[in-house]
Amino acid sequence: MYNQISSNVWRSRGLIAFFLALIIGLGYLFAQVTDYPEVLPIAVVFAILSSIGSYYYSDRIVLAMSRARPATRDEHAHLVNSVEGLALAAGIPAPRIYVIDDSAPNAFATGRDPERAVICVTTGLMDKLNRVELEGVIGHEMAHIRDYDIRLVTLAAVLAGTVVLISDWLLRSMWWGQGVSRRRRAQGSVVVLPVVLAAAILAPLVATLIQLAISRSREYLADAQGAMLTRFPDGLADALEKIAADTEPLEVANKATAHMYIANPLKDIGGPLNALFSTHPPVEERVRRLRTM
Amino acid sequence: MVPMISTFVLAIVLGIVAVFLFWIVYLYNRMVTLRNRINNAWSQIDVQIRRRYDLIPNLVETVKGYAAHEKQVFQKVTEARASMAAATTVAEQAQAQNQITQALKSLFAVAEAYPQLKANENFMMLQEELSGTESKIAYARQFYNDTVMAFNTLIQSFPARMLAPAFGFTERDYFPMDEAAREPVKVQF
C-alpha cells in the first residue's frame, strides 16, 4: 500500500517536470525561429488565465451539467454518515454531497481544494453496491480531494493546452514566414527546419499522452490512498468489478466530464491503443493492484 | 588575489549556513504542524464520543416503548454512561467507552427479538446514526493513530531527532486500547 502510494506520487511529479521541459523546449524553438518571440509569454498567460476561470467555478459548472441535487440526511443517512466518517479518516472537512438520479453506478469528486470539495454519487451506485463497496468508492473520491488531484489534473490540462497553443503558433509562423525567418537565419540561428516541424507536430500528441498518463497515475494513487482510508482494499476492488460489469452508460456524462468519474461512464472503449489514450487505467489492473496490497 | 578568494569562500559558507537554517525552520514547522494535527485529531474523537453519548437516551426510550421488561440491558447502558461521566484518567475513559460499546451491542441484540421495534422509524434512524457514529469514532481514532505515526517517525529520524528534544517535542502514544475489548464479543440474550 505504502509503496504504491510513493511510486505514484513520484511518477506524477516526473510527468509534470517532463511537461515543463517540453514547454520550455518548444518556447526555445519558437524564439529561435520567429521574429516575434515576445508574443509567446503573452499567449501563455492568456491560456493560463482562461483556464483559471473554468477551474474556479469547476464545481458549480460540473454539478449543473450533471443535474445533481444535494443529498439530505433524511433521504441518504448512510451516504452522509459514510462521507463524514471517511472525511474524519482523511483529516479534511466533510465535502458537500450531491446525488444524481441515474441507475448507472458511478461517482465523482470535484472542487479545487478540500474546503470547497464536492462528492457526487448516482442513485444507481447506492442501490447496486453494498456498504463496504460504497465506502470503498467514497474512500477513493476522498483521497482525490485530500491529495488535490483535481487541481493537479487541471494543471496538467492547462500545460497540455499551452503546448498545443505554442505548437500551433510555431507551425503558423513558419508557414507564413516560409520556414525559419530570414532575420533569425541572418542572426545565425542553427535550428533546422525539419526538426522544428517535427517538434511542432509531435508536441501536442506527446502533451496529450502525458496528460492522460498523469490522470491514470492519480487514479492508481487514489485507489491506494482510498484503500488506506478504509483499511480494506477488497471493498473498492469489488465495487470496481461491479461498476465495470454494469454496461449501462451514464446519461448526464459527456466527454468533458468523463475523466472525473471513478470509472469511464461512456462505455465505448475498444482497441489496443485504448490503454494510452484513456483517462482511467484498465479495471482489471486496478483490481489486481488492490487485491495484492 | 587573496581578498577575491575569501569573498568567494565567504559567499559559499553563507549559502550553506542559509540552507541549513532554512532546513531547521522547515523541520520545526513540520513538527508544530503534526503536533497540532494530533491534538485536533484527539478532539475529533471526543466530538464523536459526545455525539454517541447524546444519542443514547433517545434510543433507550424507543426500545423501552416495546421491550420495557428487558431491565438488565437498560441497566448496563445506564451504568456505562455513568462510568463515562465519572472517568477522569485517559485509561478510565477508554474503559468507559468500551463499556458503552458493549452495552449498545447488547441493546441492539435484544432489539432483534422485537420485529415491531425494528420496523419503528425512529429506531431505524437511531440505529443508522449510532452505527454511523461508531464508524466515525473508529475513523477518528484511525486518523489520530496515523498522525501519531507520522509525528513519531519524523522526530525519530535524522536530523529532526536532534532538534526535537531541544524544542520540547516528545513522542506521542497511540490510542489506548482496553484489553477487554480484544476478547471476542459475548452477546447474551
Asked if pLDDT for residue A208 goes beyond 60, the answer is: yes
Note the pLDDT of residue B178: 58
| Beta-bridge partners for A168 | none
What is the CA A107 to chain-centroid distance, rounded?
14
Residues of chain A found within 8 Å of residue B34, distances taken between Cβ atoms: none
For residues A122 and A164, state if they share a domain.
no
For residues A77 and A43, state if they share a domain.
no
For residues A201 and A65, state if they share a domain.
no
Cell, residue A204? 501536442
B140·A231 Cβ contact <8 A: no
User: What is the rounded CA–CA span in Å between residue B164 and residue B14?
Assistant: 25
User: What is the rounded CA–CA span in Å between residue A95 and residue A83?
Assistant: 8
Cell, residue B71? 431491565
Note the pLDDT of residue A83: 96
Quick one: average pLDDT of A118-123? 92
User: What is the rounded CA–CA span in Å between residue B189 and residue B110?
Assistant: 6
For residues A137 and A164, state if they share a domain.
no
**Residue B11 to chain A, least CA–CA distance (Å):** 30
B147·A91 Cβ contact <8 A: yes
Note the pLDDT of residue A35: 66
3-state secondary structure of A74: coil
pLDDT band (50, 70, 90) for residue A198: confident
B142·A89 Cβ contact <8 A: yes
Element (H, E) at A55: helix A39-56
B111-169 pLDDT per residue, tens: 888 888 888 888 888 889 999 999 999 999 999 999 999 999 999 998 888 888 888 88
Cross-sheet strand order for the sheet of A69-70: A69-70, A96-100, A118-122, A107-110
B136·A84 Cβ contact <8 A: yes
Q: Given CB atoms, is B153 within the 8 Å cutoff of chain A?
A: no
Asked if pLDDT for residue A270 goes beyond 60, the answer is: no
Quick one: average pLDDT of A114-127? 91
pLDDT band (50, 70, 90) for residue A257: low
User: What is the rounded CA–CA span in Å between residue A127 and residue A103?
Assistant: 8
In a domain, A221, yes or no: no
A3 φ/ψ angles, rounded to the nearest 5 degrees: -65, -40
In a domain, A179, yes or no: yes
Please check whether residue B126 is in contact with residue B62, taking contact to mean a CB–CB distance below 8 angstroms.
yes
Element (H, E) at A107: strand A107-110
Task: Report the range of poorest mean pLDDT among A78-82, A131-135, A155-159.
Answer: A155-159
Which residues of A, range 165-224, sit inside 8 Å of B by Cβ? none
For residues A254 and A131, state if they share a domain.
yes
* Domain final residue pick, A170, A190, A215: A215
pLDDT band (50, 70, 90) for residue A28: confident
For residues A26 and A171, state if they share a domain.
yes
For residues A245 and A129, state if they share a domain.
yes
Note the pLDDT of residue A170: 79
Note the pLDDT of residue A112: 77
In a domain, A223, yes or no: no
Catalytic-labelled residue, pool A38, A141, A219, A241: A141
3-state secondary structure of A266: coil
Asked if pLDDT for residue B180 goes beyond 60, the answer is: no
Note the pLDDT of residue A190: 60
Please check whether residue B137 is in contact with residue B49, taking contact to mean a CB–CB distance below 8 angstroms.
yes
Asked if pLDDT for residue B179 goes beyond 60, the answer is: no
For residues A28 and A66, state if they share a domain.
no
Note the pLDDT of residue A169: 79
| A88 closest CB neighbour out of B37, B128, B139 | B139
What is the CA A43 to chain-centroid distance, rounded?
23
| B128 closest CB neighbour out of A77, A84, A90 | A77
Whether A241 is catalytic is no
User: What is the rounded CA–CA span in Å between residue A99 and residue A123?
Assistant: 7
Residues of chain A found within 8 Å of residue B143, distances taken between Cβ atoms: 88-91
Q: Given CB atoms, is B129 within the 8 Å cutoff of chain A?
A: yes
| B37 closest CB neighbour out of A86, A91, A231 | A91
Note the pLDDT of residue A158: 79
Note the pLDDT of residue A141: 94
A81·B139 Cβ contact <8 A: no
For residues A24 and A169, state if they share a domain.
yes
Higher-confidence residue: B101 or A151?
A: B101
Domain region containing A48: 2-55+159-215
Written in H, E and C, the secondary structure of chain B is CHHHHHHHHHHHHHHHHHHHHHHHHHHHHHHHHHHHHHHHHHHHHHHHHHHHHHHHHHHHHHHHHHHCCCHHHHHHHHHHHHHHHHCCCHHHHHHHHHHHHHHHHHHHHHHCCCHHHHHCHHHHHHHHHHHHHHHHHHHHHHHHHHHHHHHHHHHHCCCHHHHHHHHCCCCCCCCCCCHHHHCCCCCCC
Q: Given CB atoms, is B117 within the 8 Å cutoff of chain A?
A: no
In a domain, A153, yes or no: no
In a domain, A241, yes or no: yes
For residues A141 and A247, state if they share a domain.
yes
A/B interface, count of CB pairs below 8 Å: 40
| A88 closest CB neighbour out of B125, B128, B143 | B143
Residues of chain B found within 8 Å of residue A77, distances taken between Cβ atoms: 125, 128-129, 132
For chain B, which residues make up each domain, given as ranges?
A: 2-182
Please check whether residue B56 is in contact with residue B82, taking contact to mean a CB–CB distance below 8 angstroms.
no
Residue type, A177: G
For residues A73 and A48, state if they share a domain.
no
pLDDT band (50, 70, 90) for residue A269: low
User: What is the rounded CA–CA span in Å between residue B67 and residue A198?
Assistant: 81
**CATH-assigned architecture of domain B2-182:** Up-down Bundle (1.20)
Q: Given CB atoms, is B37 within the 8 Å cutoff of chain A?
A: yes
Helix axes A193-230, A77-90, angle to 10 degrees: 110
The CATH number covering residue A240 comes to 3.30.2010.10
Note the pLDDT of residue A53: 65
In angstroms, what CA-CA distances link A146 with A117, A182, B85? 9, 52, 35
In a domain, A39, yes or no: yes
Chain B: residue whose CA lies nearest to A94: B136
B24-75 pLDDT per residue, tens: 999 999 999 999 999 999 999 999 999 999 998 888 888 888 888 888 888 8
How many Cβ atoms are within 10 Å of A98's Cβ, its own excluded? 20
In a domain, A220, yes or no: no
The interface predicted TM-score of the complex, written ipTM, equals 0.79
**Residue B99 to chain A, least CA–CA distance (Å):** 22
User: What is the rounded CA–CA span in Å between residue B132 and residue B121?
Assistant: 16
Quick one: average pLDDT of A77-101? 94
β-bridge pairing A96-100 and A118-122: parallel
* Domain final residue pick, A172, A193, A215: A215
In angstroms, what CA-CA distances link B27 with A20, B17, B170? 29, 15, 14
Whether this model's pTM surpasses 0.90 = no
Residue with cell 500551433: A168
Quick one: average pLDDT of A14-41? 75
Total of domains in chain A? 2
Residues of chain B found within 8 Å of residue A90, distances taken between Cβ atoms: 143
Which residues of A, range 52-91, sit inside 8 Å of B by Cβ? 77-78, 80-82, 84-86, 88-91
Please check whether residue A212 is in contact with residue A279, taking contact to mean a CB–CB distance below 8 angstroms.
yes
For residues A173 and A253, state if they share a domain.
no
How many Cβ atoms are within 10 Å of B188's Cβ, its own excluded? 9
β-bridge pairing A96-100 and A69-70: antiparallel
Where are the alpha helices (H) located in A129-181, listed in sequence order?
131-146, 149-176
